Amino acid sequence: MLDRRLVQNFDWVLLLLLLLLAAISILNLYSATYATRDVGGSQVFFKQIYWFLIGFFVFLLMTTFNYYALERLAYPAYILMVALLVLVLLLGKVTSGSQRWLSLGPVSFQPSELAKIAMVIVLAKFFSEKRGHQGYRLRDLWQPLLLIAAPSVLILKEPDLGTALLLIVVCFSMILFVKVYWKSLVVLLLSALCVAPFIWLNLKSYQRMRILTFLRPDMDPFGAGYHINQSKIAIGSGLLWGKGFLNGTQTRLHFLPEQHTDFALSVLAEEWGFIGSVILLLIYLFLILWGLNIAKVSKDRFGSIMAVGVVALIFWQVVINVGMVTGLLPVVGIPLLLFSYGGSSLISTMAGMGLLMNISMRRFMFQ
Amino acid sequence: MRTSDFDPISIEVFARQLSKLTLFILLVFAILILRFWFLQIVNGSMYRAKSENNRIHLKDIPPFRGIILDRNGETLVDNRPSYDLYVVPEEVQNREQLLNRLNGLAELDPGAAEQKFDDISSRYPFRPICIKRDLSRNELALVETNRFNLPGVMIKVTPLRHYINGNFAAHLVGYLGEISEDQLKSGKYSDSKPGDLIGKSGMEWKWQPHLNGVRGGEQVEVDATGRKIRVMARKPPVPGANVCLTIDKGLQKVAEKALVGKNGSIVAIDPRNGEILALASSPSFDPNLFVGGIDKASWERIAFSSEFPLQNRALSGQYPPGSVFKIIVALAGLQEGIIDPKEEFVCHGVYYLGRRGYRCWKKWGHGKVNLHKALVESCDVYFYEMGKRLGVDKIAEYARRFGFGTVTGFDAVHEKAGLIPTRDWKLKRFGVPWQGGETLSTAIGQSFVLVTPIQMATFISAVFNGGIIYRPHATKWVGEKKAEKVFKFKPATAGRAEINTEHLERVKKALIGVVNEPHGTGGKAKLKDITVAGKTGTAQVVTLEKEKVFENEEEIPFQYRDHAWFVAVAPAERPRIAVATVIEHGGHGGSAAAPVAGQLISAYLEEPRKLIADDS
């Protein structure tokens, strides 16, 4: 129930940050698809507005219940998520060689998006109940490691290397946050190093090639390498003030790959320059720090860890995408959250934001 | 208190962890902002210059498709350059004028070109549009000499499949076609893009992954006129593997020549290992027509012809075997012990089963016949009797032993299995029990029996090689050079027809008689120095009615004339070639098909050519 205190505690800053990002995203998408507006480009633009509307609805929906309820739902949600990931491997649509989408009547979605949120909740549940006051030892961690392994392996099978890696990185961020003993950490790292060559030897040659070009795009000058080159030209040519709205030549002339999805940031950087890019980055930074603050003021472990999980989700997606378009990190298909075109990831992000809002709103309530 | 509420220690730990985390996040964002500083401020002017002059294109380099050779290393299919006319829309000042000029120089479809311009130019102004593929020499010369007058025009050279001898072995070699949407989605053609040509039939289809090679590419910087300035990166294409076939070019030519103007098929194989020496199907088509997109008229002419030139009759043409099937009945009878080779039977030209008479092809009868004479002169009455003694199910069992009723495995996708009837089959198929008279016509290869030419060639090979059913194949090796083969053929058997040697020998002797004895039906296949053995077959297209009406063969309308069969091997003592020939509506096997088989054997064995050197 939304009583008066909840309204008083409504986190206006968080909502404002989201609205700001949505506005910039739509503006940028308008520019990115401007050249193709006669051939379906404007459709993309309007679709994204609808997605944001649906996203905000999901966001509000996630604030209507007390997040304590999620403690009870954590494991059932996890099981449902794993079941959906298995289902997608059995029945999923195959598009360009990978199986990521599940159709439910007219709606199709990616179960791997659901996996991100479900993992955050289930790990928060686990670590809030099992306490390691000064940190966890290896023997405390086998359960969460198994919990992480199942969806990661299933997503790798699709194959969706990017999302699987993101999931693993986010989960390990959470584990590091709840604190692990130094010795355990070293053992964990060493065992990972020992297993790696074994896995490598068992991969098929095309799988190895995929990982190698993932790590070194210049090995593939006609796919990823080309994209990175064009993206760097787009960003760099923005200079301090940018070429101006709708004036990005890289964008106009379609040198940018995937310019409304994975490389949407390059469009902004070209048209708004260093100033625009830094402002966007600072908005993200502010959003992330605000999320950490919510974790800090939350009155229980579950809420706090969950908030950190959502923050990790935002942080890593931003870092991976920005790193990718600027040529710092390998090319993976991770869109810039709340900014790139795409419904499935937007909905799951907004659900995560709703969780954050939920925790924030109930920070002063005692039961 | 809930289990997840904070205790004082947790609060302290969390606070410490959160400040560490904040520090880490600030650090990472600092790096990201520095990266933007580096790209946009430090190196910004360099990137700005690049973006203003961005003419970096990706260019595909298609791989050379592997060459197809015959068994002696003669090239059957290779690649030739195709000069394609392209226009870069961004560099065209006056589209209409340019298209008009081009139309004067090369024959093109202005409507289609306009359409392409409209589709592509607004979105990808720098992407070259293909206006016409495969310019003739004349057109190429005209365009090249007028280049100064044609801004934005460029000529690209791409390899094009070239079937050197036109419709030579078209069914075996196959043809190329544009990859379909479904094939692209299937993931089996990972290196292919829309518009690519892939093998659609025959060897081009079978060895597609090997023949295709791997696409290469170039990152090219071009100037404002679309001319290449420099190559920034290059990945060389990997040419496809070559495929060496087992067919003999010379023999194949003889086979195709024999079929000119007729519908039918010839299959020649090596009875010692199943290698296909020649495989012809008539009418044929020219696979060159399919390269680079077939025009509508030609496609309709080929695809909808009543004579089905695209059908490979050797694999999927199903015909009644006629009297050739008597070999099966003879072997089955001997093996089952129900035929005594010495037993004589009198043929009066008609055989009575109940009240109905079944006629022999020889109106006045063969007189006294034993097994040898019955095969040599192809007496129907003798085999009616043997068929009756065996029963249809025994006949079917032996036919299956020799590979009839199932695909040979040469090309499981396009091959037909034929049909060997049994009692159960008829009951299931028609719901009517088997009739005794149908056993009689089955015994002479009529009723429901259907076979394909490749089955016939495999069968006659087995009779002469001791009963081994080799799986026919047409590939000697696939690979870069002969030295490093990807695949080298080893003879594969699909089974063995267990027949005692003495029975096989007896039948072989009779089959030699068919060609070499005075009254043999296959005398027209006889050669001077080589012993040919064989069997004629005349497969009725329409039973009964025509016999009553037409006395003379020439009077029978073409579509009702019988299919002529001849199967043969040579030299009979140690066979090196087996031939199955079917001429649709050719009339009698002995007159229409036997001479063709004789020509083929003569060409392969008598003429002193290099293929004999291969036989060591």
Confidence grade of residue B18 (pLDDT, cut at 50, 70, 90): very high
The whole-angstrom distance between A134's CA and the closest CA on chain B is: 7
Regarding predicted confidence, which is higher, B154 or A150?
A: A150
| A74 has pLDDT over 70 | yes
Q: Please tell me which residue, B385 or B5, carries the higher pLDDT value.
A: B385
**pLDDT, average across residues A249-253:** 65
Q: Is the pLDDT assigned to residue B7 strictly greater than 80?
A: no
Give the pLDDT score at A96: 61
CATH number at residue B199: 3.90.1310.10
- When mean pLDDT is compared across A50-64, B160-174, B217-231, the lowest value belongs to B217-231
Mutate to test the interface with B, among A134, A251, A301 (most CBs of B within 10 A): A301
Give the closest of B3, B29, B50 to A281, CB-based: B29
Domain co-membership, B77 together with B156? yes
Is the model's pLDDT at A359 over the cut of 60? yes
Last residue of a domain, one of B245, B267, B293: B245
Query: Are residues B154 and B142 part of one domain?
Result: yes
CB neighbour list of residue A296: distance below 8 Å, 6 or more residues apart:
A304, B14, B15, B18
**CB distance A255 to B54 below 8 Å:** yes
Which residue range is the domain that position B102 belongs to?
57-245
Q: Are residues B134 and B214 in the same domain?
A: yes
Residue numbers of the domain that contains A202: 4-361
Whether A233 and B124 lie within 8 Å, measured CB to CB:
no
Report chain B residues whose CB lies below 8 A from the CB of A232: 39, 47
Which pLDDT does position B19 carry in this prediction? Answer: 92
Q: What is the mean pLDDT of chain A?
A: 84
pLDDT digits 0-9 by tens, A269-316? 999 999 999 999 999 999 999 999 999 988 888 999 999 999 999 999
Does residue B229 carry a pLDDT above 80?
A: no
For B3-17, B164-178, B358-372, B386-400, which range has the lowest pLDDT when averaged over its residues?
B3-17
**pLDDT 10s digits, A312-328:** 999 999 999 999 889 88
In chain A, residues with a C-beta closer than 8 Å to the C-beta of B54 are 230, 233, 249-250, 253, 255
Asked which of A153-167, B180-194, B330-344, B433-447 is least confident by mean pLDDT, the reply is B180-194
Q: In terms of domains, do B505 and B459 share one?
A: yes
Q: How sure is the predictor about B38, in pLDDT bands with cuts at 50, 70 and 90?
A: very high
Section B496-519 average pLDDT: 88
pLDDT at A367: 43
Q: Which residues of A touch B233 (CB under 8 A)?
A: 221-222, 225
pLDDT of residue A232: 87
Helix A138-157 / helix A111-129 crossing angle, nearest 10 deg: 170
Tell me which of B134-138, B486-490, B587-591 is least confident: B486-490
* Residues A160, A152 contacting (CB under 8 angstroms): no
Q: What pLDDT band is residue B292 in, cutting at 50, 70 and 90?
A: low
Q: Please check whether residues B260 and B183 belong to one and the same domain.
A: no
- The pTM of the full predicted model, rounded to 2 decimals, is 0.62
**Domain termination residue (choose one: B226, B245, B264):** B245
Residue B291 lies in a domain: no
The stretch A216-235 carries a mean pLDDT of 74
Least confident of B68-77, B99-108, B240-249, B310-319: B99-108
The residue with tokens 């220690």 is B9
DSSP 8-state assignment for residue A240: T
Instruction: Identify whether B3 is part of a domain.
Output: no
Task: Indicate the number of domains in chain A.
Answer: 1
Mean pLDDT in chain B?
A: 83
Residue B57 dihedral angles phi and psi, to the nearest 5°: -115, 155
Q: Are residues B204 and B342 in the same domain?
A: no
In a domain, A186, yes or no: yes
Distance from the first to the final alpha carbon of chain A = 14
Is A240 near chain B, with CB under 8 Å? yes
First to last CA, chain B: 94
Would you place residue B158 in the very low, low, confident or very high pLDDT band (cuts 50, 70, 90)?
confident
> Which has the higher per-residue pLDDT, A155 or B221?
A155
Q: Does A56 score more than 50 pLDDT?
A: yes
Give the model's confidence band at B551: pLDDT under 50 very low, under 70 low, under 90 confident, else very high: low
Is residue A193, in this structure, part of any structural domain at all?
Answer: yes
Mean pLDDT of B431-442: 87
Q: Measure B150 CA to nearest chain A CA, in Å.
A: 23
How confident is the model over B238-278, as pLDDT tens digits?
A: 888 889 899 999 899 989 988 888 889 999 999 998 999 99
Cα B235 from Cα B214, distance rounded (Å): 10
Residues of B in contact with A178 (CB under 8 A): 17
Provide the pLDDT confidence category of residue B616 given band limits of 50, 70 and 90. very low
Shortest distance, CA A71 to any CA of chain B (angstroms): 9
Q: Looking at this predicted complex, what is its ipTM?
A: 0.91
Q: How far is A144 from chain B (nearest CA, A)?
A: 17
pLDDT at B527: 85
- pLDDT digit string (tens) for A196-219? 888 787 776 666 776 776 677 666
Give the Cα-Cα-Cα angle B74, B78, B79 (nearest 5 degrees): 155
Task: State the average pLDDT over residues B529-547.
Answer: 75
Query: Which tokens in the block code for residue A172?
Result: 């390990």
CA-angle at A141, arms to A136 and A142, nearest 5°: 160
Cβ pair A222:B29 closer than 8 A: no
Strands B216-222 and B75-87: unpaired
Residue B173 lies in a domain: yes
**Closest in A177, A234, A238 to B21, CB measured:** A177
pLDDT at A187 over 80: yes
**In a shared domain, residues B349 and B380:** yes
Tokens of B172: 């075996």
Catalytic residues of B: 323
Q: Are residues B384 and B531 in the same domain?
A: yes
In a domain, A250, yes or no: yes
In chain B, what percentage of residues exceed pLDDT 90?
17
Residues 6 or more apart in contact with residue B278 via CB below 8 angstroms:
B247, B248, B251, B252, B254, B255, B266, B267, B268, B600
Query: Using one digit for the tens of pLDDT, what is the confidence trace for A335-350?
Result: 899 988 888 889 999 9
Domain count within chain B: 2
B92, part of any domain: yes
Question: Does a structural domain hold residue A135?
Answer: yes
> Over the stretch B93-143, which tens digit does the pLDDT of each residue have?
777 788 888 887 887 777 777 777 776 665 556 667 778 878 888 888 888
Are B405 and B469 found together in one domain? yes
Pair B348, B236 in one domain: no
Please determine, for residue B225, whether its predicted confidence score (pLDDT) is greater than 60. Answer: no
Quick one: CA dihedral B190, B196, B200, B205, positive or negative?
negative
Helices (H), B194-353: 202-206, 208-212, 249-259, 296-303, 313-316, 326-336
Residue A366 counted as domain residue: no
